[in-house]
């Protein structure tokens, strides 16, 4: 005859306690819930990345952190400055990049940036809407390198690099400034001095750096400063240097209007030309004689008259 302990049946209270224990651990004893796709992904990749991006912080939303109103025509919601501070903190070492011209895909950009920024410790790329990309660096030094050591070109396209801020809007953000290389070709060699080159470059825009070959006068075909360009203003194609016309060429800016001198379109699609043509064709009946005198018709527009030579290299 065998002796042993006999299993005692669970009382109703014991069953409730057992269920409560399972629920506390995230599992229902009678109906265990399947893992979600997010849970599986987190379990596969580990938790470190999500922690670094603020996904596993130990804070919770409090009632005073949320402002919600059911307004017309749509509901309104906003979060407190405390929440914004916590949300922004993990994104300190991020920059936003976009190619100026032909858009590149994720893989092409990743491959090229790993070559261009090989001196950085490491970085991750997150693709956004409208051909923007977020670059996550590991430290502030690499962020400064990406922001200050340009201009950067990827497959012949300038790379716009800006520090990420909470105000960045992937829909409405507009690239209106960029650092670009310019060439002052066929300039007399005795002007190849860093103070002179910097002052001449300031005619175009704030000078960020000067090519080392220009400073040492090792190459005399052109001086090469990098300047900050305001893409909303007409680009300068030439200036008078002590009675001699000095031409300005812009590297890797493929879309320049040879009429209005602005970046972003060609002469055939010049908005200045289209606006004035439309006004002259359709609105002259409503204009005074003085207004008509002030209108310059399309055939007399500067954008129809090439007043310069080479713009780009």
DSSP string across the chain: ----PPPPPPPHHHHHHHHHHHHHTT--SSSPPPPPHHHHHHHHH-SHHHHHTTSS-S----GGGEEEE--SSS-EEEE-HHHHHHHHGGGTTEEEEEEESS---HHHHHHHHHHHTTTSS-EEEEE-GGG-EEEEESSHHHHHHHHHS---EETTEEEEEEE--TT--TTT----EEEEEEEEET--GGG--HHHHHHHHTTTS-EEEE-HHHHTT---SEE-EEEEEETTSPPP-EEEETTEEEEEEETT---B-TTT--BSS-GGG-HHHHHHHHHHHHSGGGS-HHHHHHPPPGGG-GGGS---S--B-
Residue 213: per-residue pLDDT: 80
Report the predicted TM-score, pTM, of the whole model to 2 decimal places: 0.60
Quote the pLDDT of residue 220: 77
Position 293 scores a pLDDT of: 44
Looking at residue 252, its pLDDT comes to 82
* Per-residue confidence (pLDDT) for residue 291, from 0 to 100: 45
User: Would you state the pLDDT for residue 218?
Assistant: 74
| Domain ranges in the chain with CATH number 3.30.70.330 | 90-163
pLDDT at site 309: 46
| Each residue's pLDDT expressed in tens, for the chain with a length of 313 residues | 444 444 444 454 454 444 444 344 444 445 555 555 445 434 434 444 443 555 556 778 899 999 999 988 999 999 999 999 899 988 989 999 999 877 888 999 999 999 999 999 989 999 999 999 999 999 999 999 999 888 998 888 889 999 999 989 988 888 888 889 999 999 998 999 999 999 999 999 999 999 888 777 777 789 999 999 998 888 999 999 999 999 999 988 766 554 554 555 445 556 555 444 444 444 444 445 544 444 333 333 344 444 444 545 5
Q: Does the domain formed by 90-163 have CATH 3.30.70.330?
A: yes
In this structure, whether the domain defined by 177-250 belongs to CATH 1.10.1610 is answered with no
pLDDT of residue 34: 57
């Amino acid at each position: 005859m065998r002796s042993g302990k006999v299993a005692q049946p669970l009382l109703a209270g014991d069953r409730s306690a057992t269920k409560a224990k399972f629920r506390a651990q995230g599992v229902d004893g009678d109906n265990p819930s399947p893992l979600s796709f997010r849970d599986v992904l987190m379990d596969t990749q580990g938790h470190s990345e999500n922690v670094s991006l603020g996904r596993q912080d130990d804070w919770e939303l409090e009632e005073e952190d949320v402002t919600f109103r059911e307004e017309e025509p749509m509901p309104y919601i906003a979060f407190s400055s405390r929440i914004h501070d916590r949300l922004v903190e993990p994104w300190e070492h991020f920059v936003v990049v976009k190619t100026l011209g032909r858009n590149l895909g994720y893989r092409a950009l990743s491959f090229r940036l790993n070559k261009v920024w090989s001196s950085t410790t490491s970085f991750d790329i997150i693709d956004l809407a409208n051909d923007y990309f977020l670059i996550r660096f590991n430290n502030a030094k690499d962020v400064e390198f990406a922001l200050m050591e340009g201009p950067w070109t990827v497959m012949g396209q300038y790379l716009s690099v800006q520090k990420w801020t909470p105000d960045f809007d992937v829909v409405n953000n507009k690239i209106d400034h960029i650092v670009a290389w310019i060439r002052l070709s066929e300039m007399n060699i005795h002007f190849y001095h860093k103070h002179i080159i910097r002052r001449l470059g300031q005619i175009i825009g704030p000078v960020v750096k000067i090519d080392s070959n220009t400073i040492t006068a090792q190459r005399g075909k052109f001086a090469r400063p990098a300047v900050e360009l305001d893409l909303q203003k007409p680009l300068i194609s030439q200036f008078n240097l002590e009675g001699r016309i000095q031409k300005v060429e812009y590297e890797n800016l493929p879309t320049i209007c040879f009429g209005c001198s602005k970046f972003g379109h060609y002469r055939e699609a010049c908005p200045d030309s289209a606006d004035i043509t439309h006004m002259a064709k359709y609105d002259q009946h409503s204009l005074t004689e003085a207004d008509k005198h002030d209108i310059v018709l399309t055939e007399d527009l500067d954008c129809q008259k090439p007043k310069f030579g080479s713009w780009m290299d």
